[in-house]
Amino acid sequence: MMGVVAINCFWIYTLKWIGPFSRIHLLSVYVLYGLVRSVTYADRGQVTEHQSWMKGIVMGGLVVAGAFTLLPGRTMHAVLLGG
């Protein structure tokens, strides 16, 4: 599911940083790369490396992306923080 969400992110153009892309697009590239790395490590039986990449994806893909949604001017900022 994280891969699907990361891919869908490339059709979001509301926050522009470089051309049509934003910082959230960099995060999506990181998530997609991390998914490939973690599956590769799992196939090789390198459990510790797999767990490390998966934890990084969760922190980067969920926590950091969640923080981006709370920036002033974003819809979730207004909904959750009233502003």
Residue 1 pLDDT: 87
The answer to whether 60 and 29 have CB atoms below 8 angstroms apart is: no
Q: How far is CA 29 from CA 8, 9, 11, 44, 63, in A?
A: 11, 10, 13, 23, 16
For 67-78, what is each residue's pLDDT tens digit?
878 888 888 888
For the chain, give percent helix, strand, coil, nearest 5. Answer: 75, 0, 25
Q: Is the pLDDT of residue 28 over 90?
A: no
Q: Can you tell me the distance from the alpha carbon of 77 to that of 19, in angstroms, rounded to the nearest whole number?
A: 25
Residue 49 lies in a domain: yes
pTM comes to 0.73
pLDDT at 23 > cutoff 80? no
Q: Does residue 52 register a pLDDT over 80?
A: yes
Number of domains making up the chain: 1
12 in a domain, yes or no?
Answer: no
Enclosing domain of residue 29: 2-6+22-81
- Span 3-15, mean pLDDT? 80
